[in-house]
Amino acid sequence: MYVLGSAFHSEPLFNHPTIANPIAIDAARPLLRVVQPLGAALLPVVVVCSAASILVRFRRARGLERQQLKWLPMR
């Protein structure tokens, strides 16, 4: 949600404030003003849940699946 909101917003680009966003969708401006902050707020929750799901999967795995999950750098 955050990436889509950032990609299609109709304001000038962050790194180049004099250039207008070439793929902006003006009609979606009200929706993007809700979606982008919501996505930014949920991003930390999604990251924590993703890490927790890998840890739970590793604890439940046996044999070959556990060996495959060991390839992930878990530090």
For residues 15 and 21, give the distance between their C-alpha atoms in angstroms, rounded to a whole number.
11
pLDDT tens, residue by residue, 17-43: 888 888 888 888 888 888 888 988 999
Instruction: List beta partners, residue 12.
Output: 20
Instruction: List beta partners, residue 20.
Output: 12
Q: What is the largest CA-CA distance in the chain?
A: 57
pLDDT tens, residue by residue, 41-73: 999 999 999 999 988 998 899 998 888 888 877
Q: Is the pTM of this model over 0.75?
A: no
For residues 21 and 1, give the distance between their C-alpha atoms in angstroms, rounded to a whole number.
18
For residues 32 and 46, give the distance between their C-alpha atoms in angstroms, rounded to a whole number.
20
**Which tokens in the block code for residue 9?**
């917003």
